[in-house]
Structure 1
Amino acid sequence: MSFKFEKLTVWQKALDLADKIDQLTKSFPREEIYVLTSQMKRAADSVVLNIAEGSTGQSNAEFCRFLRYALRSDIEVVACLYLTRRRKYINEERFLTLYHSCEEVLVMINALIKSLK
């Protein structure tokens, strides 16, 4: 691993979450492809991408700015999970599993932000 972000556990967890969201959206109805599917995948990918982009050796303040973007995107994934559950594209058990994954990433991002201040 040669990039700083690759060593971050939070980035690895976010990458796992993005993969889980990608798998989930493959089961969505076709009419959601340009709506919920796209939004949810972009939000999950944004968490991963913002952590990576922010870690590029800039100042801690700049890294924190990108981590806050990642945090917002993680929360967006949670909101999408609620829509997914409400539209009955996901059962309660899978909702809770993914919800807890989002929560874990959120806690880790917040801890990283705190450590950089």
Structure 2
Amino acid sequence: MSKVERFEDLIAWQKARVLTQLIYQITQQGVFSKDFGLSKQMQRAAVSIMSNIAEGFERNRPGEFHQFLSIAKASCAELRSQLYVALDVNYIQQSEFNQVLNQAQEVGRIIGGLRASVDINRKE
């Protein structure tokens, strides 16, 4: 297996990018787009996920990468929580909620796996 040279090659970052696109799409529709607080906070959380993966990777230090992955995973949890708010106030339908929540959960799992791998490698 070859060494990952760029953060763009990380599956975690690629999946976070897709999630961010979904979040921007849903937050720019209908009444949701008028709730500037929630829509902007969700956009920031989604961007934070992919940005922290990228920044941590570019630090080129396993300990710092692990820390940034922890922040990315926490932003993913924040985003999932905000999705529940969007559902509860009827900004999104259950089907859309399920789709985006599943995507966010997948991103969280991938980040968690990457973080565990980085943790093992930084102790060797």
Superposition map of 1:1-117 within 5 A: 4-29=6-31, 30-33=33-36, 35-117=37-119
CA distance, structure 1, for counterparts of residue 34 and residue 22 of structure 2: 20
1:54–1:65 CA contact under 8 A, matched in 2: yes
Any gaps of 5 or more consecutive residues in structure 2? 120-124
Moved over 3 A (4+): none
TM-score by length of 1: 0.93
Q: Percent of pairs identical after alignment?
A: 35
Counting matched residue pairs gives: 115
Aligned-residue Cα RMSD (Å) equals 1.5
Letter paired with 1:24: I
Cα offset for 1:116?
0.9
Cα offset for 1:31?
3.7
Q: Deviations over 1:9-32 (max 9, x none)?
A: 110000000000000001152541
SS at match of 2:100: helix
CA distance, structure 2, for counterparts of residue 71 and residue 62 of structure 1: 14
Letter paired with 2:93: N
Cα offset for 1:58?
2.4
Cα offset for 1:106?
0.5
Cα offset for 1:85?
0.2
Q: Deviations over 1:33-82 (max 9, x none)?
A: 2x001100000000010000000142111001000110011111101100
CA distance, structure 2, for counterparts of residue 68 and residue 75 of structure 1: 11
Larger Rg: 2
1:28–1:37 CA contact under 8 A, matched in 2: no
SS at match of 1:13: helix
CA distance, structure 2, for counterparts of residue 49 and residue 37 of structure 1: 18
